[in-house]
Amino acid sequence: MMKKLSIFLFALIISLTVIGCQATANWEESDIFLVNDRQMIGEEGRFAILYDVLNLYPDAGNKCMWYLWGDETELQGTVKVTATHEKDDESITLIHSHSNSLSPHFTADDHMVSELTLPKSGMWKLDAFIDDELFESIFLKIHEK
C-alpha cells in the first residue's frame, strides 16, 4: 500500500511539473503583422490589437483598437477581455461586457475600442472570451520604464 502511494505521489509530482513547464513555455510575444499598412499584434485573421500606436510601459494609458475575425455566429455574443501577468495567477478585466453587434473595420469582421493599461512590466496574456468561451489570446510584452 505504501509503495503504491509513493508511486502515485511521484507520478503526480512529475505530471504537475510537466504541465507547469508547458504552461509557461509558450509565453512569447505574439506575431506582429500588417493590415492596411498598420502594425497589429496577435493571431492574424483571428484576434489582434493595433500595435503601432501602443505605449508599452506600465500604467501607460492607451486607447486600444481590438480586431476579431470569424463568421457571424461565432462572433455574436458578449465579449470579455482579461489580462494575466506571466508571474501572477490573478487576472485584470480589460473589457467587461461589450455586446457585439459586428462592426467591421480594416479587414476584420468586428472591432472594439477600449483603454489598455497594464500595471507592471513583463509578459501579459490577453484572453478574449465570447459568451464566456475562450476565443483567442494575445501575448504582449510591457517594457520597464
> 34-92: per-residue pLDDT in tens?
999 999 999 999 999 999 888 899 998 889 999 999 998 999 888 999 999 999 888 99
Model confidence, pTM = 0.78
Helical residues (DSSP H) of 26-142, grouped into ranges: 72-75
Burial (CB count <10 Å: 0-12, 13-18, 19+), residue 145: exposed
Each residue's pLDDT tens digit, 82-121 = 999 999 888 999 988 766 566 778 889 998 889 899 999 9
Give the H or E element holding residue 22.
helix 2-25
Closest CA to 58 of 145, 141, 138: 145
Please name the amino acid found at residue 115: E
Whether residue 82 contacts residue 88, with contact meaning beta carbons closer than 8 Å, is answered with no
